[in-house]
Amino acid sequence: MEQTVRVLGVPMDLGADRRGVDMGPSAIRYAGLADQLEGVGQPCVDGGDIAVPRPEKRDPDTEPFDVGYAKYFRETREVCEDVSTAVSGTIADGEFPLVLGGDHSIAIGTVAGATDDQRTGIVWFDAHGDFNTPETTPSGNVHGMSLAAILGNGPFADVPWAHSPRVPAENVAMVGIRDLDDREAEMLGDSNVTVYTMTDIDERGITDIVREALDVATDGVEQVHVSLDMDCLDPDEAPGVGTPVRGGISYREAHAAMELVHERAGPRMSSFELVEVNPILDQHNRTAELGCELVASAFGKRVM
- Residues labelled catalytic: 104, 126, 128, 130, 143, 229, 231, 276
**Separation of alpha carbons 62 and 45, rounded Å:** 36
For 174-204, the three-class secondary structure string (H helix, E strand, C coil) is: EEEECECCHHHHHHHHHCCCEEEEHHHHHHH
Specify whether the CB–CB gap between 37 and 5 falls below 8 A.
yes
Farthest-apart Cα atoms in the chain, separation = 55
The one-letter amino acid code at 176 reads G
Looking at residue 243, what DSSP letter applies? S
* Contacting residues for 21 by C-beta, under 8 A, at least 6 apart: 12, 13, 101, 102, 103, 242, 275, 276, 277, 278
The Cα–Cα gap between 159 and 149 comes to 8
Q: How far is CA 106 from CA 45, 149, 249, in A?
A: 20, 11, 23
Please say whether the beta carbons of 37 and 299 come within 8 A: yes
Choose among 176, 160, 280, 163: nearest CA to 227: 176
d(CA 21, CA 235): 16
Which H/E stretch holds residue 123? strand 120-125
Beta bridge partners of 223: 120
